[in-house]
């Protein structure tokens, strides 16, 4: 191996590393070196033993898109004249009524993401996979474009393409260290010598945490063992010469999958106690009997799987297990990949926790990001900066990875929380909320009340529409009662989970002004709702900026990614400092027509309409509690966000609670908050809009200050506005009252044209509400559409926003 300088060193020659190298060289990056501790290209990592099943449909649009990119790439690859992908299609079977219902939902997901799929009756399914006993199933979901990737061949084929463009590959070269100087990668230490490098891309898979530690970067993934066997030949497949004719098959009710291997079948099994492996315990290539990612088969874990396989595919009962192993692959705390460049070590890029299904798609995105500054697709769900420090701790990664493995084929509700470790993060008033019977769901580690059983008495006398079974999984009629009572009286909402930073310094105004679309150059005491755009005018985030002093701002954000973005953008002269204050502060949203009646008698300053206008802020006292008060509302009611430090939090709650007793105050949860938000037409970043959408398309163009120039994305936004919108986010009423959950397809004249984002029931307007992305020509008020929900069609109508407005007197208050 030559030890001369490489512009980019890719660590790992599996499917991800080879994909990154191939795409980088296609974009003109010629100095690329790919190294691996194992032999090329059956290196001994997860790619080397992967059975290659590619199912594209996922609850995440991002993951489905990455899988679609991967299929496109696989289909165009050939290695030594042979195809690297068999487009045999896939079928997921339903052995229970619950799974059959869920496959109807999954059919909707595929439609929303542009993936052709079909619901099959048992006899239709058996025509494609004759081994299945039709008496055992209720039906199946067929995706014609899914199939089998020959991952090792595909890696080698992409390596050949990269080599033709100048890339080099070196096997049997173990990384022993990463050189970092002044926070930037300078080289890679290997068993073959030191390699100077400007960029290092870590595609080490199950060894990722080990490589990350060399660079001082925590990589929150945990390898788990997964069982796979091949049967002896089956009589019905005798003489078969094609690798596979049958569609790949998933039997999720038994946590299993199947694929054809010419005249035999392969069976993968998740239906066993998770078997984690510490990355440091994985053998090196020279030490492993077969390969490092393969361990001894544990037959006791396969007994039930074999019985379930024979039940579904009876002919397997006449065969035996011919080959078997436990193979390792990676899980993260949320089951999604880790992509990006950590701020702590510039030039050290991650493309980790990626399976064969998404390998080329991730490789393309990472290479595009490195070479052009943009990944070419929205990666908010995969960005490594989505995790805060606690989520990278070994104990957290192991416990959450365990649950991700255990639930990999479970029917997961969109609101279903991970169960451990909990409680992890709590606001100061957590004990008060528990005393009120709070039903908590988890968000970013926080315990967040969804409703309060103490408010169950408010249900009496109200005609409350119950959603269907799926939408009612994490629902209570108390949500409706809290929603209506908050509109009638006053409620306290826990807003502590809203991330926030303090930005200060002599350059703070110019810094924030360059990164946001709003007018921030106003006197202290003003709050501005603004957007942070990327270079393409996509909505990177939306923020609320409170100017507390000439050189000090409080900025409400959407997550750790935003904090990272601000810190990366800091000027080098020290004129601006950014401090994350989320954990040291807390926030009550005090909202409702009687909010002023509660807070005004406690406040040291004037909280009247004249003395404290909308979108104003003030540092003041609530009795003896120092607070930062922002007059704004995310539910469309009179009120304030009241921030204080965590040590004063419980006192603030108690003061407001006592003062509110004569005004019917209640604690209200996230369920009520969501319905009220939808009625007011307020967008939720990450759910309703993200970097693929510009402000006008998303209906937040008002947050772009007219006449302002020079902010990030300004030039691109001007060009987009000249071209006109590509789509629109609209508010729909679901006219038969069906409550949907989000991500359902929207149809016009029977054809899919878009998908739902947020959804819920507006109890103040008596209407089921859904926000949805649709083409511009279908966005006019009154346009008739349909929403597909569990394979049923439900009429919907585009509505003018907002659906709910307080009385004019309340708006003037």
Check residue 358 and report its DSSP letter.
G
List C-alpha distances in Å: 524 to 553, 599, 607, 616, 626: 9, 22, 17, 9, 18
Residue 813 pLDDT > 50: no
Query: Is 763 considered catalytic here?
Result: no
**pLDDT per residue over 476-514, tens digit each?**
999 999 999 999 999 999 999 999 999 999 999 999 999
Whether 803 contacts 762, CB under 8 Å: yes
Question: Environment class of residue 710 by beta-carbon count within 10 Å: exposed (0-12), middle (13-18) or buried (19+)?
Answer: exposed
| Cα 354 to Cα 376: distance, rounded to the nearest angstrom | 18
| Cα 550 to Cα 556: distance, rounded to the nearest angstrom | 18
Please report, rounded to a whole number, the percentage of residues in the chain having pLDDT higher than 90. 97
The domain defined by 422-498+582-675 carries CATH number 3.20.20.70: no
Collapse the DSSP code of 618 into the 3-class scheme (helix H, G, I; strand E, B; otherwise coil) and give the result.
strand
For 152, the token pair is: 């090792």
* pLDDT reported for residue 1: 35
Average pLDDT over residues 36-45: 97
Give the angle 675-681-687 at the CA atoms, nearest 5°.
75
For 340, the token pair is: 């990006």
Cis link prior to 38 (omega < 30° from 0)?
Answer: no
Other residues' Cβ atoms within 10 Å of the Cβ of residue 614:
12
For 527, the token pair is: 């709050």
Whether 463 contacts 484, CB under 8 Å: no
Place of tokens 């904090």: 563
653-657 contact pairs (CB < 8 A, 24+): 653/428, 653/429, 653/432, 653/492, 653/588, 654/432, 655/602, 655/622, 655/623, 655/625, 656/492, 656/588, 656/590, 656/598, 656/599, 656/602, 656/622, 657/432, 657/492
List C-alpha distances in Å: 113 to 61, 194, 588, 707: 6, 45, 37, 37
* pLDDT reported for residue 807: 61
474 contacts: CB under 8 Å, gap ≥ 6: 413, 415, 416, 441, 450
Report the chain's mean pLDDT, rounded to a whole number: 96
Residue 19 pLDDT > 90: yes
Read off the pLDDT band of 806 (50, 70, 90). Answer: confident
* pLDDT reported for residue 7: 86
For 42, the token pair is: 């059956």
* pLDDT reported for residue 810: 45
Beta strand extents in 688-738 (DSSP E only): 728-734
Which is catalytic among the residues 86, 334, 542, 694?
542
380 contacts: CB under 8 Å, gap ≥ 6: 62, 386, 561, 686, 690, 691
Closest CA to 679 of 797, 800, 794, 528: 800
Give the HSE-up count for residue 659: Cα atoms under 13 Å, Cβ half-sphere: 22
Whether 798 contacts 778, CB under 8 Å: yes
**pLDDT per residue over 130-149, tens digit each?**
999 999 999 999 999 999 99
**pLDDT per residue over 720-769, tens digit each?**
999 999 999 999 999 999 999 999 999 999 999 999 999 999 999 999 99
Residue 792 pLDDT > 90: yes
Query: Is 396 considered catalytic here?
Result: no
Which is catalytic among the residues 69, 107, 226, 358?
226
**pLDDT per residue over 284-319, tens digit each?**
998 999 999 999 999 999 999 999 999 999 999 999
| Pairing state between β 446-452 and 500-504 | unpaired
| Cα 416 to Cα 608: distance, rounded to the nearest angstrom | 42
**pLDDT per residue over 217-251, tens digit each?**
999 999 999 999 999 999 999 999 999 999 999 99
List C-alpha distances in Å: 627 to 586, 620, 621, 707: 10, 5, 6, 34
Which is catalytic among the residues 79, 228, 257, 265?
257
List C-alpha distances in Å: 747 to 751, 752, 755, 788, 791: 5, 4, 8, 7, 12
Closest CA to 18 of 52, 42, 49: 42
Cis link prior to 681 (omega < 30° from 0)?
Answer: no
* pLDDT reported for residue 624: 98
**pLDDT per residue over 162-208, tens digit each?**
999 999 999 999 999 999 999 999 999 999 999 999 999 999 999 99
* pLDDT reported for residue 6: 73
Domain range annotation of the chain: 6-82+150-222+334-372, 422-498+582-675, 507-581+694-724
**pLDDT per residue over 329-380, tens digit each?**
999 999 999 999 999 999 999 999 999 999 999 999 999 999 999 999 999 9
Residue 811 pLDDT > 90: no
| CATH code reported for the domain at 507-581+694-724 | 3.30.70.1400
* pLDDT reported for residue 5: 57
* pLDDT reported for residue 418: 84
Collapse the DSSP code of 459 into the 3-class scheme (helix H, G, I; strand E, B; otherwise coil) and give the result.
helix
Query: Is 172 considered catalytic here?
Result: no
Q: Three-class SS string for 556-570?
A: ECCCHHHHHHHHHCC
Collapse the DSSP code of 467 into the 3-class scheme (helix H, G, I; strand E, B; otherwise coil) and give the result.
coil
For domain 6-82+150-222+334-372, the CATH class is alpha beta
Beta strand extents in 252-378 (DSSP E only): 256-261, 264-269, 275-276, 294-295, 321-331, 338-340, 348-352
**pLDDT per residue over 89-133, tens digit each?**
999 999 999 999 999 999 999 999 999 999 999 999 999 999 999
Closest CA to 449 of 417, 471, 420: 417
Tell me the longest C-alpha to C-alpha distance in the chain.
88
Give the HSE-up count for residue 29: Cα atoms under 13 Å, Cβ half-sphere: 22
* pLDDT reported for residue 419: 85
| Pairing state between β 175-181 and 248-251 | unpaired
Residue 808 pLDDT > 90: no
* Run of H or E including 714: helix 714-723
pTM, entire model: 0.96
């Amino acid at each position: 191996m030559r030890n001369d300088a490489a512009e980019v060193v890719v660590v790992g020659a599996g499917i991800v590393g080879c994909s990154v190298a191939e795409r980088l060289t296609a974009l003109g990056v010629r100095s690329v070196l790919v190294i691996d501790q194992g032999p090329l290209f059956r290196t001994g990592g997860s790619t080397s033993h992967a059975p290659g099943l590619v199912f594209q449909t996922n609850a995440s649009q991002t993951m489905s898109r990455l899988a679609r990119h991967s299929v496109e790439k696989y289909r165009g690859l050939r290695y030594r004249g042979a195809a690297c992908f068999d487009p045999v299609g896939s079928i997921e079977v339903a052995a229970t009524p619950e799974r059959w219902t869920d496959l109807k939902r999954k059919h909707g997901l595929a439609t929303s993401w542009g993936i052709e799929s079909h619901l099959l009756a048992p006899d239709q399914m058996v025509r494609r996979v004759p081994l299945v006993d039709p008496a055992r199933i209720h039906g199946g979901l067929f995706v014609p474009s899914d199939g089998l990737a020959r991952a090792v061949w595909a890696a080698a084929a992409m390596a050949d393409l990269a080599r033709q463009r100048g890339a080099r590959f070196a096997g049997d070269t173990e990384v022993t260290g990463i050189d970092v100087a002044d926070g930037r990668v300078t080289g890679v230490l290997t068993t073959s010598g030191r390699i100077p490098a400007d960029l290092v891309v870590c595609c080490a898979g199950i060894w990722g945490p080990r490589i990350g530690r060399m660079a001082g970067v925590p990589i929150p993934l945990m390898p788990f063992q997964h069982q796979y066997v091949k049967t002896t030949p089956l009589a019905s497949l005798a003489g078969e010469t094609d690798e596979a004719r049958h569609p790949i098959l998933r039997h999720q009710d038994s946590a299993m999958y199947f694929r054809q291997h010419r005249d035999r079948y392969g069976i993968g099994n998740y239906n066993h106690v998770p078997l984690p492996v510490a990355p440091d315990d994985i053998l090196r290539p020279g030490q492993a009997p077969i390969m490092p990612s393969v361990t001894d088969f544990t037959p006791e874990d396969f007994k039930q799987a074999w019985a379930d396989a024979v039940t579904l595919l009876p002919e397997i009962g006449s065969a035996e297990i011919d080959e078997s192993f436990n193979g390792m692959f990676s899980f993260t705390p949320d089951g999604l990949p880790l992509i990006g460049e950590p701020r702590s070590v510039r030039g050290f890029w991650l493309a980790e926790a990626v399976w064969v299904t998404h390998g080329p798609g991730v490789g393309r995105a990472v290479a595009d990001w490195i070479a052009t500054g943009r990944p070419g697709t929205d990666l908010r769900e995969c960005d490594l900066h989505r995790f805060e420090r606690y989520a990278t701790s070994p104990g957290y990664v192991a416990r959450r990875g365990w649950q991700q493995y255990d639930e990999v084929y479970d029917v997961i509700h969109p609101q279903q929380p991970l169960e451990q470790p909990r409680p992890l993060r709590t606001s100061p008033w957590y004990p008060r909320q528990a005393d009120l019977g709070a039903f908590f769901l988890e968000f970013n580690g926080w315990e967040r009340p969804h409703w309060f059983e103490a408010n169950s008495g408010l249900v009496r006398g109200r005609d409350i529409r119950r959603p269907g079974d799926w939408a009612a999984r994490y629902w209570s009629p108390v949500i409706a009662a809290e929603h209506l009572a908050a509109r009638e009286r006053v409620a306290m909402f826990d807003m502590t989970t809203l991330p926030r930073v303090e930005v200060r310094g002599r350059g703070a105004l110019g810094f924030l002004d360059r990164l946001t679309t709003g007018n921030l150059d106003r006197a202290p005491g003003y709050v501005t709702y603004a957007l942070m755009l990327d270079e393409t005018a996509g909505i990177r985030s939306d923020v609320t900026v409170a100017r507390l002093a000439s050189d000090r701002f409080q900025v409400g954000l959407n997550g750790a990614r935003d904090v990272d973005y601000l810190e990366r953008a800091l000027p080098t002269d020290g004129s601006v400092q950014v401090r994350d204050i989320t954990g040291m502060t807390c926030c009550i949203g005090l909202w409702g027509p009687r909010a002023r009646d509660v807070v005004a008698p406690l406040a040291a300053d004037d909280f009247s309409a004249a003395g404290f206008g909308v979108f104003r802020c003030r540092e003041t006292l609530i009795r003896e509690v120092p607070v930062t008060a922002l007059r704004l509302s995310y539910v469309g009611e009179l009120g304030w966000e009241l921030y204080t430090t965590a040590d004063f939090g419980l006192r603030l709650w108690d003061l407001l609670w006592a003062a509110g007793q004569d005004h019917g105050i209640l604690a209200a949860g996230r369920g009520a908050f969501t319905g009220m938000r939808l009625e007011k037409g307020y967008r939720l970043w990450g759910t309703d809009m993200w970097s693929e959408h510009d402000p006008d398309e998303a209906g937040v163009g008002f947050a772009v200050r007219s006449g302002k120039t020079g902010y990030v994305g300004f030039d691109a936004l001007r060009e987009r506005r000249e071209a006109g919108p590509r789509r629109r986010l609209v508010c729909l009423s679901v006219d038969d009252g069906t409550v949907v959950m989000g991500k359902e397809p929207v149809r016009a004249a029977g054809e899919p044209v878009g998908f739902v984002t947020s959804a819920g029931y507006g109890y103040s307007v008596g209407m089921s509400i859904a926000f949805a992305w649709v083409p511009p020509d279908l966005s006019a008020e009154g346009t008739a559409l349909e929403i597909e929900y569990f394979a049923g069609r439900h009429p919907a109508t585009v509505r003018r926003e907002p659906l709910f407005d307080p009385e004019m007197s309340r708006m003037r208050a």
